[in-house]
Structure 1
């Protein structure tokens, strides 16, 4: 059959130059020129050449690259009527449908073979721009500005579908694989391109570790609950209640209200810190600064905790470094004395719980803040709200046990003696906790 030529016109209605490339998905269709740069507001002509098969209206698919954005388009060509002797030969419409399906399948294969990844970053990130320049030579990298609310919302939806937590920026997504922070480099990117999804013993091991991730959070909360800063305040509260003549039932009531107030107060403080740190982690420079500050602080805290453990072991408790400042300790005691004497026991206990939370943060925050950073880093299959709840449940368990022991008939002197005899162990465990957190934040 005779070759058909047709002219198409492309107009650049934008304010910038347009680089356009056509790629035919059929050997029967060619275009000349295949690539061209069209100035803003200008129009350019392209010649299509088709070797037809069949008769009637014929369609063929082409891939179009416009300034790096790839799409598919369909070209329609009206063919001359067939000779009368050929009308009874076959079904041109059927052949046309078959051809269209083949074109679509071929287009899909080509699109699938293209490497298209999404990078989410903030403007001014030099490492991001460097990666885009390196990867953009061979692959298509779509850029997304996380300072735009729509882009950030879109990212959060994608990560939710992938069941992956947002840790830090820049963030790169390719299919179901995600790189974050320092992982975003050309070497890591090429590795995930060649990655094959297989169920191996190593993956089963990693899945097991995923389920174990909440355990350090609970343990840290439990350890923070027996932190001398918090525990000595609890003992002082119980002593004050006995001193003003409160009965065991009243002490149990105070214990329930105090525990609930402490749990809610610490949870809300943690929620605020979580949102602030997570927002700060959006910016790579700020994220690195926070990380290094935490590492230095944890190193110092671990050394001081080991020093305190040594002093506690030899009975020199007054020489311990990590404890509430005398001024804050005095304020807490004044709040407790004032509100345990009030007739309004419920309101007084709530006030004590809130004020104790605020004043003790200078001490208990030493554990809380790094744990929140850890939560942001590992958040994946479970919500950060669950992790915060888990931490604070661990934190209030010592409170519950102490008040329950007092209600059962024990006294605060026995509890104080038990605590003092194990103070060096608690300090030692706190030191080990600080050291371990250096490797996980």
Structure 2
């Protein structure tokens, strides 16, 4: 009986708490006159926001007849609920900050859209041209063009595949499968190669998602994009230089200390050893292959939501391990590992040159967007 009373009391308390939470959420809604003002969501910890807010305040000062409402998401609390309410009401397709809502449908997201369009939106409000869904179509079109120029699925898939054919991304797999052939059957070749590939996939996906989520959470998209673009350009220059000058003392690749740790595992032919080997190889390969990945993560952070980012990262990393799976299938079906290694050595300089040029291009794009 006493236990039942306790459970009943706990149930009542939980119900009251849930009711209070729901009631609190219901009180945070879009103001009824939001379509006649400019609502600005920003964060004092966001580098992009810090750069664009002086422009917003200057425009507000020049058009004092238009009401501006400012909300700093860094303060937390009801601001996030209000932000979500605006996103839902305006049907924002890429919620991020800085973002400005006005009229019936105007959503300006990111520094570039705000700089290019805010003045026109404010003038339209000032002269009573908006709210008007028909008049606001011009800003919808501008936002669509801005958001789809850079981030496309073919770009992500191409980057993942190009990153996957990087010589140091599958060198270790060839040597691992050589060891397996000397100690097992063709079936073990497939099992070991797939285990190794999936381990690499897991390391790269988790590392990429962790970094992507951190950038979104700490709202440092602009800073991360700048850093990633610079790194991509630096690694691209190194890749091109190593392709044109093979004797260059500094070359992209797995560090020497990493090879010392990985070498003993080469003698193992078990699936668990291949998984461990894939994890370690994935970690040690990052200095060699991380340039492309960082650039793609910067573009995702700028243009994709978290849900979209997960799908793009899955697609990228599936393409990244595709060459590993192809090598596994080829060796498992009878292609001598030596032939694969000969092909790798023969095309190493060409691959580095192609990857270097791609890195330079995507690095520049990352800095410009």
**Normalising by the residue count of structure 2, what TM-score does the alignment of the two structures yield?**
0.74
Larger radius of gyration: 1
- Residue 272 of structure 1 deviates from its aligned partner by 0.6
- Count of residue correspondences: 316
**1:238, distance to aligned residue in structure 2 (A):** 1.5
Q: 2:172 aligns with which of 233, 249, 272?
A: 233
Q: In structure 2, what is the Cα distance between the partners aligned to 1:211 and 1:318?
A: 34
Change in CA separation of 1:381 and 1:269 when aligned onto 2, cut-off 3 Å = closer
After superposition, the Cα gap between the structure-2 partners of 1:279 and 1:211, relative to the gap in structure 1 and judged at 3 Å, is: closer
- Partner of 1:135: helix, strand, or coil? helix
2:186 to 241, 248, 260: 248
- CA gap of 1:407–1:153, structure 2 versus 1, over 3 A, is farther
Aligned-pair CA distance for 1:247: 1.7
Q: Deviations over 1:361-403 (max 9, x none)?
A: 2222222122111111222697111100010011010011001
Residue by residue over 1:29-66, the C-alpha shift from the partner in whole angstroms, topping out at 9 and shown as x without a partner, is xxxxxxxxxxxxxxxxxxxxxxxxxxxxxxxxxxxxxx
Maintained 8 Å contact 1:132/1:141: no
C-alpha change, 1:164 and 1:425, in structure 2 (3 Å) is farther
User: 1:192-271 counterparts in 2 under 5 A?
Assistant: 192=121, 194=124, 196-197=136-137, 206=145, 213-243=152-182, 245-271=183-209
Q: Deviations over 1:147-166 (max 9, x none)?
A: 21442354356446635324
CA RMSD of aligned residues (A): 3.4
Matched, 1:358 2:283: yes
Summarize the Cα distance change of 1:352–1:173 in structure 2 as closer, same or farther, 3 Å threshold. Answer: same
Q: Is the 8 A contact 2:221 2:302 kept in 1?
A: no
Matches within 5 A, 1:388-427: 388-427=313-352
Question: RCO greater where, 1 or 2, for CA within 8 Å and sep 6 or more?
Answer: 2
Q: Could you say what secondary structure the match of 1:410 adopts? A: coil
- Residues 381, 240 of structure 1: alpha-carbon distance in 2 compared, 3 angstrom cutoff: closer
Consecutive unaligned residues of structure 2, counting only runs of 5 or more, are: 1-29, 125-134
Residue of structure 2 equivalent to 1:25: none
User: Does structure 2 retain, via aligned residues, the 8 Å contact 1:213–1:378?
Assistant: no
Tell me if 1:151 matches 2:79.
yes
* Aligned match of 1:9: none
Could you say which structure has the higher strand fraction? 1
CA distances 1:79-120 after superposition (whole Å, capped 9, x unpaired):
xxxxxxxxxxxxxxxxxxxxxxxxxxxxxxxx69x6312211
Distance 1:267 1:150 in 2: 33
Report the structure, 1 or 2, having the larger helix content: 2
In the alignment, the residues of structure 1 paired with residue 113 and residue 138 of structure 2 have an alpha-carbon distance, to the nearest angstrom, of: 22
Change (3 A) 1:207 1:355: same
Query: Does residue 180 in structure 1 map to residue 114 in structure 2?
Result: no
Give the direction of change, closer, same or farther, for the CA distance of 1:352–1:322 in structure 2 (3 Å limit): same
Task: State the distance in 1 between where 2:307 and 2:85 align.
Answer: 15
| Alpha-carbon separation, structure 2, partners of 1:421 and 1:143 | 60
SS in 1 for 2:338: helix
